Amino acid sequence: MPFSVGAVILAAGEGKRLKLREPKPLAPCLDKRLVDFSILEVEKFFNNNKINGCITAVIGHQREKVQSYIAERYSNVKYAIQEKQVGTGDALKSYFNSSADTLNYDYTLVLCADTPLITAHEMEQLFVEINSKNFDGVAAVFDEKNPYGYGRIVRGEKGFKIVEEKDADEVVKKITEVNSGVYILKTSYVVEHLKSITSNNKAGEFYLTDVFSQDRNVEALSFQSAKPFLGVNTLLQLEEVESLLRDKIKANHRDNGVRFIDFKNCYIDTDVKIGFGTVIYPGVHLSGKTIIGEDVIIENGAIIKDSKIENKAKVLAYSVLESATLRIKSQAGPFARLRPGADLGEESKIGNFVEIKKAVLEKGVKVSHLSYVGDAFIGEESNIGCGFITCNYDGANKHVTKIGKNCFIGSDVQTIAPVEIGDDCFVAAASTVTHSVPNGGFAISRGKQITKEAMASKFIKKKNK
């Protein structure tokens, strides 16, 4: 499409009703903030339609905070400052006053920072409507059984006007066709008509909605579903919107062949990737940049952040993973903790109450019970017994334990790092390894057992009854 569009995201309002410390555009929503959603979707709309466009955020309340958040993430967003929040019409004027470039775009697309369910699809529909039918302005509208709080659409012979809740009489209040707050307008048209809006209304605000009128060449485009336009004004609405966004993400995964045992009861962030045939049990949280392969099983209550789980791996119940890697057919849990840098090789296994940190376990390694493996390397097919501990910290620095391949490390062994155990070694149970063991070596370090016959009774205490 050879057209240019200036997109404006209105984000200057205070959002008092939301009752958060953060300004409304920065309200947390999944792993992002409210304002991210409209920015990302406008970018998509521009890219999908090859539109020459620019995004500007109108900021005001706590504007330094809002601007620095956006600027850290998006280099292409511009800013307009609205000094006083005296209405959406004034906010749009601030946009046009921010730079002469704003006047050069064929169309101006207006969105609010608090509608995170809007998608490029609705923007495309608005664009097609204004462009194909040569309207001066198109507002997205929908039917709402409980229209309280919304501007009502009062259709006229040619166009329509929007009457705000505060200004509506009893007849108008009954109208269920409402304004979404999303519009596309010819830039020349909106600039012209913004000049004449006044604050002669109950709120004493400059309403952007006054650029529409019943005798103008404008259209109220009716959308079947209100969902894309749901706004966040309260914490309850934030919860509802987050829940819908989450369902949308999960439904996408389901469409791609991911099976949920309890669809409602699991939490998946926006950027997580999951492969075909994977099964997700209830109570699972997947967040950050997590990538999960095909035919993976993630059992109940697993919490997985920024981790990579390869095909056919299993994360058993109540395991917690952060910045960890599970390679093909490896398995962790139940109750395993994988901290940053844990790297479980192909077909390796860690079991219950095992903590792994900054450690590489090569193919086939097993650490089945109650162990701590930190700053370590364990070679292929080595088996580590129960209660193994790498003593990696001397109070100031961390040191490395290296264990070769095909080793057998008995239960209750500690390695005092730095220390190296070669390939094919055997370390006897209950040993404390302080010196390196060469390839093929056997190491034992434990007190000799003394046994005295019939002496137990001397030590067994009788309870007073």
Among the listed residues 231, 345, 351, 385, the single contact to ligand UD1 using CB under 6 A:
231
CB 297 within 8 A of CB 280: no
Please say which residue, 35 or 373, places its beta carbon nearer to Mg ion. 35
Kindly state the number of chain residues that form the binding site for Mg ion, as judged by CB under 5 A.
Answer: 1
Looking up tokens 């006047």, which residue turns up? 103
Residue 4 has a CB neighbour count (10 Å cut-off) of 15
| R_g over Cα of the chain | 31
Question: Distance (Å, rounded) from C-alpha 285 to C-alpha 300?
Answer: 9
Give the shortest CB-17-to-Mg ion separation in angstroms. Answer: 9
Question: Distance (Å, rounded) from C-alpha 207 to C-alpha 11?
Answer: 15
Site for ligand UD1 in 207-226 (CB under 6 A): 207-209
Looking up tokens 């909605």, which residue turns up? 209
Please say which residue, 88 or 414, places its beta carbon nearer to ligand UD1. 88
Give the shortest CB-13-to-ligand UD1 separation in angstroms. Answer: 3
Site for ligand UD1 in 443-462 (CB under 6 A): none
The reply to whether 181 sits near ligand UD1 by the rule CB under 6 A is yes
Question: Distance (Å, rounded) from C-alpha 403 to C-alpha 132?
Answer: 70
Site for Mg ion in 202-261 (CB under 5 A): 231
Q: Annotate each residue in 106-145 with x if it binds ligand UD1 (CB under 6 A) or - if it does not, as one string.
A: ------xxx-------------------------------
Instruction: Return the C-alpha torsion angle 78, 84, 87, 89, nearest 10.
Output: -50
Question: Using alpha carbons only, what angle is made at residue 375 by residues 369 and 378, rounded to the nearest 5 degrees?
Answer: 60
Please say which residue, 147 or 231, places its beta carbon nearer to Mg ion. 231
Q: At what angle do helices 34-48 and 120-133 cross, to 10 degrees?
A: 50
Give the one entry of ligand UD1, Mg ion, none that residue 390 binds, where binding means its C-beta sits below a cut-off of 5 to 8 angstroms depending on kind: none
What type of residue is 446?
R
Give the shortest CB-386-to-ligand UD1 separation in angstroms. Answer: 58
The reply to whether 91 sits near ligand UD1 by the rule CB under 6 A is yes
Q: Which helix (H) or strand (E) holds 246?
A: helix 235-255
Phi, then psi, of 24 in degrees rounded to 5 = -50, -45
Site for ligand UD1 in 43-72 (CB under 6 A): 58
Using the CB atoms, write b or e for 62-87: b if 16+ within 10 Å.
bbeebbebbeeebeebbbbebeebbb
Give the shortest CB-116-to-ligand UD1 separation in angstroms. Answer: 11
Give the one entry of Mg ion, ligand UD1, none that residue 319 binds, where binding means its C-beta sits below a cut-off of 5 to 8 angstroms depending on kind: none
Which is catalytic among the residues 61, 285, 369, 399?
369
Give the one entry of Mg ion, ligand UD1, none that residue 77 binds, where binding means its C-beta sits below a cut-off of 5 to 8 angstroms depending on kind: none
- Give the residues across from 442 on adjacent strands: 426
Among the listed residues 10, 302, 315, 407, the single contact to ligand UD1 using CB under 6 A:
10
Is residue 193 annotated as a catalytic residue, yes or no? Answer: no
Please say which residue, 54 or 324, places its beta carbon nearer to ligand UD1. 54
Neighbouring residues of 349: CB distance < 8 A, sequence distance ≥ 6? 330, 331, 332, 365, 366, 367, 368
Best CA proximity match to 377, nearest among 342, 331, 426, 329: 342
Kindly state the number of chain residues that form the binding site for ligand UD1, as judged by CB under 6 A.
Answer: 27
Q: Annotate each residue in 239-278 with x if it binds ligand UD1 (CB under 6 A) or - if it does not, as one string.
A: ----------------------------------------
Residue number of the CB atom closest to ligand UD1: 151
Dump the DSSP string for 87-114.
Answer: -HHHHHHHHHHH-GGGGGSSEEEEEETT
Using CB under 5 A, list all residues that contact Mg ion: 231
Using CB under 6 A, list all residues that contact ligand UD1: 10-13, 58, 82, 85-88, 90-91, 112-114, 150-151, 162, 164, 178-181, 207-209, 231
Q: Which residues are catalytic?
A: 369
